[in-house]
Amino acid sequence: MTAQTETQGSITAVYQVSGMSCGHCEGSVSGEISGIAGVSSVQAVAATGEVTVVSVAPLDEETVRAAVDEAGFELVTKA
């Protein structure tokens, strides 16, 4: 699931990621997503599974999914 809001010069998207349970998990997911071109900040919260990403343009969901997969977790999509 992705929710996006646009503010002046940036896009904020909130993704749902399953499997995060600790600070190390948050760091792994944040680190992988931070490597995507155009991403300016990432905040992962294991307790809720939410990952908030701020970028200069909308991100391709498959690119985000690949980064989350690389970190060892799963991006949850709407049914």
Domains defined for the chain, CATH in brackets: 2-76 (3.30.70.100)
What are the tens digits of pLDDT across the range 39-70?
Answer: 999 999 999 999 999 999 999 999 999 999 99
Judged against a pLDDT cut of 80, whether residue 38 lies above it is answered with: yes
Where residue 49 falls (left for φ over 0; alpha for ψ -120 to 50; beta otherwise) is left
Residues 50 and 15 sit within 8 Å (Cβ to Cβ): yes
Q: Which residue has the tokens 């646009």?
A: 6
Check residue 73 and report its DSSP letter. Answer: -
Residue 3 has pLDDT above 90, yes or no: no
**Residues 6+ positions from 6 with CB-CB distance below 8 Å:** 12
**pTM for the predicted model, two decimal places:** 0.88
